[in-house]
Amino acid sequence: MKIKLIILIIFLASFGAFSQTATNFICDDCTGVSHNLFNELDAGKVVILCWVMPCASCIGPTKTTYNVVQSFNLSYPDRVKMYICDDYANTNCSSLNSWCTQNGLTNATKFSNSAIKMSDYGSNGMPKIVVVGNYTHQVYYNTNNTVNVDLLTNAITTALEDFSVSISDPVQVNDIKIYPNPANNEVSLNFTSEKSEPCELVIYNNSGIQVLQPASFHLKQGENTISVSSIGLKNGIYFACLKADSGMKRARFVVSH
């Protein structure tokens, strides 16, 4: 009994040793494009992180993961992204790109940057594959050395569906008054802030794709009103997301020109 109890404690400790939410990173990929993981998740993208050495044993699971990711392109264009990351950022981008090209992994973003740490997600693996998504930055799948196609597919599908549910039934909707709604040339958001703090406003369309550049504001304590031009938006349903240190508020509005 004591032995079983010790094993259980060790298992629970190892399970809780890494966060069940993603760790943010802001860094350049191998083409020099900057990425902010949390911003991409907040915009409705599902990101599959795949750490490789690169090595021969990495090829099979990485190609399987790559093929699963590609299968979502038609139904969810530009929503599911695969990031192939050098394990300890000690392989240069040229070598990593060559390895990916040789193995048919061309439509993936490559990173060799120490800001992206597989240790944030528990034990190391070759490859290590992690699926993160939704504005909650949740980890949906985490595996080492191998990959299960069904579990990976279900994880990506669940992450996509969770974001769709969250934007179609936004939380704290009564905290924001949006007018006019439907909007024509401009939409205004009226809400109360409990304190003075910086805030970022992001607008998404009904597919969870960011449609306007994020706008930064400094909220005052009490009532606030923010106006946004909707002239460049097509007719349809949109979601306003206000992100501050104290939390997030979201609400839905319609554009009709």
Report the C-alpha gap between 96 and 135 in whole angstroms. Answer: 30
257 residues of the chain, pLDDT tens digit each = 444 433 333 333 333 334 589 999 999 999 999 999 988 887 788 999 999 999 999 999 999 999 999 999 888 888 999 999 999 999 999 999 999 999 999 999 999 999 999 999 999 999 999 999 987 899 999 999 999 999 999 999 999 888 766 554 433 444 788 888 888 899 899 888 888 999 999 888 866 778 888 899 899 999 999 999 999 888 877 888 888 888 888 787 888 77
Q: Is 159 exposed, middle or buried (0-12, 13-18, 19+ CB in 10 A)?
A: buried
Closest by CA position to 225, among listed 170, 176, 173: 176
Determine the pLDDT at residue 207.
66
A 10 A CB-CB count for 138 gives 17
Report the C-alpha gap between 85 and 118 in whole angstroms. Answer: 9
CA atoms within 13 A on the CB side of 113: 19
Omega before 170 within 30 of 0, i.e. cis: no
Task: Report the relative pairing of strands 80-86 and 109-111 from DSSP bridges.
Answer: parallel
Closest by CA position to 105, among listed 147, 58, 146, 45: 58
Determine the pLDDT at residue 173.
40
Kindly write down the DSSP assignment for every residue of 177-188, as one continuous string: EEESSSBSSEEE
Report the C-alpha gap between 256 and 251 in whole angstroms. Answer: 17
- The pTM assigned to this predicted structure is 0.67
Determine the pLDDT at residue 161.
83
Report the C-alpha gap between 30 and 85 in whole angstroms. Answer: 10
